[in-house]
Amino acid sequence: MTNFGNYYKLNKAKQTVTCGSSMFLQTLIDKLAIDGYALSNMPGYGGITIAGILQ
């Protein structure tokens, strides 16, 4: 069984990101920052998942 909460794929050529719906937004921002694609000054979004944003 795949853990979609940890799924993260950055396509630099197409400038798109694919991630699992149960990933927390802060985790996504942290992963983007590691790859150099996050804003340096972001407000905190603790406890919100990607699926929660889309609902």
- pLDDT for the residue 55: 67
- pLDDT for the residue 4: 64
Distance CA 48, CA 45 (A): 6
Q: What is the pLDDT of residues 1-55, one digit of tens each?
A: 566 668 899 999 999 999 988 888 888 888 998 999 887 666 666 778 778 877 6
- Return the domain boundaries, the chain: 8-54
- pLDDT for the residue 9: 94
DSSP string, 1-55: ---GGG-EEEETTTTEEEE-TTSBHHHHHHHHHHTT-S-SS----TT-BHHHHH-
Six token digits for residue 48: 């919100």
